[in-house]
């Protein structure tokens, strides 16, 4: 398909895109790293700063709620620009990470982690928007796949550092947070070598009369966009509800219901995570080749089937291939949902639409899923009394509506030139 004139005019070339992707990937890698540190070192923190399991749950809940508040910051990318917001978020989460590392009590740590989550949630949304806007139509899926794989790889680094004995150093859990200083170097480079996205600049320049509303948070709910926003939002909600629950409860299931050791389940998770990262990259390629919608339906159906079986497997040997494939398809679908959340919407409202999908639909789904499974599957008080059965039930209950929404309401955006959307709204 020939690119429109605007598409060619906004193309800064492959060398710039490679450099940009390296920088965004590094920032996203540490986003993934920081997101995984807290659950990993929470027990060490409690032992050091004092606190019960109930307080640990509260710390985690308050910190996660920062991801919802991130909505207000992420939406600012349509007002102040993608580049500026990216710099703010990376600086913000690095500073919050430093604050976490020097926390003297649980309250200080909770506040620092809440602030960190606000910036981490925003960084993710703006990084996806930048890739969508700077990459040509036939290469966008690959860019998104690589970017999103970095989230998982960042999480794996936490496990590697733990395996290497970082927790046994005199700094204990604080050492994990000090590693999070590295993104400051990325900021130093970004400031000089990264430009505002060409599409954002072009839309800002074209909107001389100020016809477009760049500030109203409810702009994505205008009649032109709201149907797409709702469809993509519901997709995010149901999908992430089960993905977050599976990620949260699998170690518990493996250890308490299958009888695996902590070390073996950690090893399985590392192997599955590496393959999961491959799922993003393959998914990104498939998106460009087959299209977003068929790739998403394939990934969703596969992850639902494999996930439901995974939580019924009671043999450690049989568990590994199912775990790897479930992670491959389950997490891999993330690059397609990221495309849906951005490619449907014109540039002037794209970041706010992505923020709605991510922070207002996906994150609440991610908080509700683990809660419901814990409530139903609790070994002491849950009506089901089995985390494995509760997880399988959740897979069944959510994969069906996700697939239905994708089939009925999601339109294909492969080959779509974003300029056609921008020209329609500016005209």
Partner 1 sequence: MKHAGLFLVLALTWTVLGGCAGTDRPEGVVERWLIALNQGAAGRPGQYAPEALSERVLPGWASKDPGELDVIEVGKGSVPRIEMAPPALVPFRVVRLDGTTIQGTAALVPRASGWQVSTLRGRLPGLAVPSEGGDRIGSGGIGLWLAAFGAAALCSLLAVGLMAAFGRPQPVTPR
Based on the shown chain and the rule CB under 8 A, indicate whether residue 257 belongs to the binding site for partner 1. Answer: yes
Tell me which stretch binds partner 1 (CB under 8 A): 129-137, 201-209, 272-280, 407-415: 407-415
d(CA 370, CA 366) in angstroms, rounded, equals: 7
Based on the shown chain and the rule CB under 8 A, indicate whether residue 206 belongs to the binding site for partner 1. Answer: no
d(CA 111, CA 21) in angstroms, rounded, equals: 31
Tell me which stretch binds partner 1 (CB under 8 A): 25-33, 83-91, 205-213, 219-227: 219-227
d(CA 303, CA 321) in angstroms, rounded, equals: 13
Give phi and psi for 384, each to the nearest 5: -90, -40
Using DSSP's 3-state secondary structure scheme, residue 345 falls into coil
- Minimal distance, residue 425 CB to partner 1, in Å: 6
- Minimal distance, residue 422 CB to partner 1, in Å: 10
Using DSSP's 3-state secondary structure scheme, residue 322 falls into helix
| Residues 389, 394, 397, 398, CA torsion sign | negative
Residue reference for tokens 């995010």: 236
CA angle 76, 80, 86 (to 5 degrees): 75
Based on the shown chain and the rule CB under 8 A, indicate whether residue 138 belongs to the binding site for partner 1. Answer: no
Residue 91 or 255: the one with the smaller Cβ distance to partner 1 is 255
The answer to whether residues 72 and 356 touch, using CB atoms and an 8 Å cutoff, is: no
Pick the binder of partner 1 from 3, 44, 111, 298 (CB under 8 A): 44
Number of residues that bind partner 1 (CB under 8 A): 68
Pick the binder of partner 1 from 89, 97, 197, 228 (CB under 8 A): 228
On the CB side of 372, CA atoms within 13 Å amount to: 22
Contacts of 301 (CB under 8 A, 6+ apart): 399, 403
- Minimal distance, residue 384 CB to partner 1, in Å: 5
Based on the shown chain and the rule CB under 8 A, indicate whether residue 379 belongs to the binding site for partner 1. Answer: yes
d(CA 87, CA 94) in angstroms, rounded, equals: 11
Residue reference for tokens 């519901």: 234
The interface mask with partner 1, positions 56-75, x = CB under 8 A, is: x-------------------
CA-nearest of 153, 146, 143 to 197 is 143
CA-nearest of 191, 416, 384 to 288 is 416
Pick the binder of partner 1 from 146, 313, 367, 393 (CB under 8 A): 393
Using DSSP's 3-state secondary structure scheme, residue 401 falls into helix
Residue 28 or 342: the one with the smaller Cβ distance to partner 1 is 342
- Minimal distance, residue 413 CB to partner 1, in Å: 5
Pick the binder of partner 1 from 72, 80, 102, 259 (CB under 8 A): 259
Residue 176 or 238: the one with the smaller Cβ distance to partner 1 is 238
Pick the binder of partner 1 from 201, 209, 227, 303 (CB under 8 A): 227
Based on the shown chain and the rule CB under 8 A, indicate whether residue 47 belongs to the binding site for partner 1. Answer: yes
Pick the binder of partner 1 from 120, 151, 376, 426 (CB under 8 A): 376
Contacting partner 1 within 337-356 (CB under 8 A):
343-344, 346
Based on the shown chain and the rule CB under 8 A, indicate whether residue 378 belongs to the binding site for partner 1. Answer: yes
Three-state secondary structure of 90-146: HHHHHHHHHHHHCCCCHHHHHHHHHHHHHHHHHHHHHHHHHHHHHCCHHHHHHHHHH
Based on the shown chain and the rule CB under 8 A, indicate whether residue 166 belongs to the binding site for partner 1. Answer: no
Integer Rg of the chain from CA: 21
- Minimal distance, residue 64 CB to partner 1, in Å: 20
Residue 190 or 245: the one with the smaller Cβ distance to partner 1 is 245
- Minimal distance, residue 409 CB to partner 1, in Å: 6
- Which positions touch partner 1 (CB under 8 A)? 43-44, 46-47, 50-53, 56, 223-228, 230-231, 234, 238, 255-263, 314, 343-344, 346, 372, 375-386, 388-390, 392-394, 396-401, 404-405, 408-409, 411-413, 416, 421, 424-425
């Amino acid at each position: 398909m020939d690119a429109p004139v605007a598409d060619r005019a906004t193309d800064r070339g492959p060398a710039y895109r490679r450099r940009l992707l390296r920088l965004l990937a590094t920032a996203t890698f540490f986003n993934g790293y920081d997101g995984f540190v807290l659950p990993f070192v929470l027990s060490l923190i409690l032992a050091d700063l004092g606190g019960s399991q109930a307080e640990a749950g509260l710390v985690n809940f308050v910190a996660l709620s920062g991801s919802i508040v991130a909505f207000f910051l992420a939406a600012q990318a349509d007002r102040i620009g993608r580049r500026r917001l990216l710099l703010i978020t990376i600086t913000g989460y690095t500073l919050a990470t430093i604050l976490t590392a020097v926390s003297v009590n649980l309250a200080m740590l909770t506040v620092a982690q809440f602030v960190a989550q606000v910036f981490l949630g925003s960084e993710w949304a703006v990084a996806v928007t930048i890739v969508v806007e700077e990459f040509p139509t036939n290469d966008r899926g690959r860019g998104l796949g690589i970017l999103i794989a970095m989230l998982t790889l960042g999480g794996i680094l936490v496990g590697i550092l733990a395996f290497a004995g970082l927790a046994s150093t005199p700094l204990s859990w604080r050492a994990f947070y000090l590693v999070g200083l590295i993104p400051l170097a990325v900021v130093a480079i970004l400031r000089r070598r990264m430009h505002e996205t060409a599409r954002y600049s072009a839309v800002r320049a074209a909107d001389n009369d100020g016809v477009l509303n760049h500030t109203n948070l409810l702009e994505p709910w205008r009649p032109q966009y709201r149907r797409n926003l709702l469809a993509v939002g519901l997709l995010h909600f149901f999908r992430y509800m089960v993905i977050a629950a599976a990620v949260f409860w699998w170690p518990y299931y493996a250890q308490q219901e299958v009888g695996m050791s902590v070390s073996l389940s950690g090893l399985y998770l590392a192997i599955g995570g590496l393959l999961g990262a491959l799922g993003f990259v393959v998914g990104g390629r498939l998106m460009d080749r087959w299209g977003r919608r068929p790739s998403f339906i394939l990934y969703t159906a596969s992850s639902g089937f494999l996930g439901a079986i995974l939580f019924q497997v009671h043999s450690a040997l049989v568990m590994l291939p199912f775990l790897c494939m479930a992670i491959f398809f389950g997490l891999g679908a993330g690059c397609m949902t990221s495309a849906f959340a951005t490619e449907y919407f014109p540039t002037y409202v794209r970041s706010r639409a992505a923020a709605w999908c991510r922070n207002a639909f996906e994150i609440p789904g991610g908080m509700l899923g683990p809660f419901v499974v814990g409530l139903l599957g609790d070994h002491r008080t849950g009506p089901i009394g089995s985390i494995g059965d509760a997880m399988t039930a959740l897979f069944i209950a959510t994969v069906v509506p996700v697939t239905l929404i994708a089939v009925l309401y999601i339109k294909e955006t492969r080959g779509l030139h974003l300029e056609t959307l921008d020209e329609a709204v500016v005209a």
